[in-house]
């Protein structure tokens, strides 16, 4: 059984840990508020650009743009959004597990896979499994700008149009609420699910629908990637906040248990001392 001094030391160290996890919880809560706002503000832009692209694509139904054409799949690209740090609960594990299972179910060889990863946790994970990570981005800020992810988004889209792979999947954690997020798979390319808006208007395009699509489609795909990163950051901060709250609550429970053990041990020691004193007095009589 641990001595009184050892129990007291454990109580002190656990209280110190609780102070740290409580502070981290508050920091994550503060970051979550802004990250959630950023993700929500980006939604109207995505809705509008999707509407515009869908309308133009419907006019140019015979477009031969490579981003709209389905071709035989020989290689598949995967862009996976993770974090750079731990202490975020199941945030990384859930999305990495989903991506890994999809890769294993679709491919018999690692040569059929082209991996691009945002976040050091995902990069390290796939390297440990023996995959070659074609592109990696680490150090994304807590509130990222498009400039931070522009290069990897541009490369992901460019490698598809150049024929390096024949389809591209995006994996990230979709923010649902402060206590919930969902690992999500989205087939990013080719863009086969574009639908025109419900507005039955006729448009004239200058110089032409084809030329506009040539410029707009890459921007649309890159915007989908940026939206996933914003969504993932909100999920990351929410997961961190939840994990730190759980850690703080567990530390409080442990302190209560240790305090009870300490008080019982101290009471037993006092009782033992009283018994010895009484026995000594009795022996002197």
Q: Tens of pLDDT along 167-223?
A: 999 999 999 998 889 999 999 988 877 665 555 456 666 777 777 788 888 888 999
Indicate whether 111 pLDDT > 80. Answer: yes
Rounded Cα gap, residues 67 and 58, in angstroms: 14
Rounded Cα gap, residues 209 and 201, in angstroms: 15
The backbone region for 130, taken as left when phi is positive above 0, alpha when psi lies in -120 to 50, beta otherwise, is left
pLDDT at 84: 93
The distance between the two most distant Cα atoms of the chain, rounded to a whole number of Å, is 116
For residue 186, list its beta bridge partners: 170
Residue pair 85/243 in contact by the 8 Å Cβ criterion: no
Mean pLDDT value of segment 154-169: 92
Mean pLDDT value of segment 251-263: 92
DSSP letters along 193-249, please?
-----S-------SS-HHHHHHHHHHHHHHHHHHHHHHHHHHHHHHHHHHHHHHHHH
What's CA 10's distance to the chain center, in Å? 34
| Mean of all residue pLDDT scores within the chain | 88
**pTM of the full predicted structure?**
0.87
pLDDT at 200: 46
Compare 158 and 206 and report the one with higher pLDDT.
Answer: 158
Q: Which residues contact 264 (CB under 8 A, 6 or more apart)?
A: none
Rounded Cα gap, residues 132 and 175, in angstroms: 29
Mean pLDDT value of segment 46-73: 78
Indicate whether 65 pLDDT > 50. Answer: yes
Mean pLDDT value of segment 105-121: 94
Q: Which residues contact 173 (CB under 8 A, 6 or more apart)?
A: 81, 91, 94, 95, 181, 182, 183, 184, 231, 232, 235, 236, 239
Rounded Cα gap, residues 84 and 51, in angstroms: 34
């Amino acid at each position: 059984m641990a001595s009184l001094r050892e129990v007291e030391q454990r109580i002190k160290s656990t209280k110190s840990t609780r102070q740290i996890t409580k502070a981290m919880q508050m920091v994550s809560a503060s970051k979550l508020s802004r990250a959630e706002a950023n993700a929500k503000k980006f939604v109207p832009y995505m809705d509008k650009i999707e509407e515009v692209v869908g309308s133009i694509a419907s006019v140019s139904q015979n477009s031969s743009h490579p981003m709209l054409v389905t071709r035989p799949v020989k290689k598949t690209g995967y862009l996976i959004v993770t974090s750079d740090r731990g202490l975020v609960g199941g945030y990384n594990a859930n999305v990495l597990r989903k991506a890994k299972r999809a890769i294993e179910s679709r491919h018999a060889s690692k040569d059929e896979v082209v991996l691009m990863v945002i976040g050091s946790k995902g990069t390290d994970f796939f390297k440990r499994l023996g995959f070659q990570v074609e592109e990696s981005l680490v150090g994304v800020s807590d509130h990222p700008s498009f400039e931070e992810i522009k290069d990897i988004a541009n490369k992901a889209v460019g490698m598809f149009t150049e024929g390096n792979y024949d389809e591209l999947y995006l994996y990230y954690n979709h923010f649902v609420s402060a206590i919930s997020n969902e690992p999500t798979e989205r087939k990013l390319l080719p863009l086969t699910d574009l639908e025109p808006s419900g507005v039955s208007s006729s448009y004239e395009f200058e110089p032409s629908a084809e030329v506009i699509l040539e410029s707009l489609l890459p921007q649309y795909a890159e915007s989908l990637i940026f939206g996933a990163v914003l969504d993932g950051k909100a999920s990351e901060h929410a997961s961190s906040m939840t994990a730190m709250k759980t850690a703080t609550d567990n530390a409080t429970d442990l302190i209560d248990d240790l305090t009870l053990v300490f008080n019982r041990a101290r009471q037993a020691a006092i009782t033992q001392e009283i018994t010895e004193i009484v026995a000594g007095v009795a022996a002197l009589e």
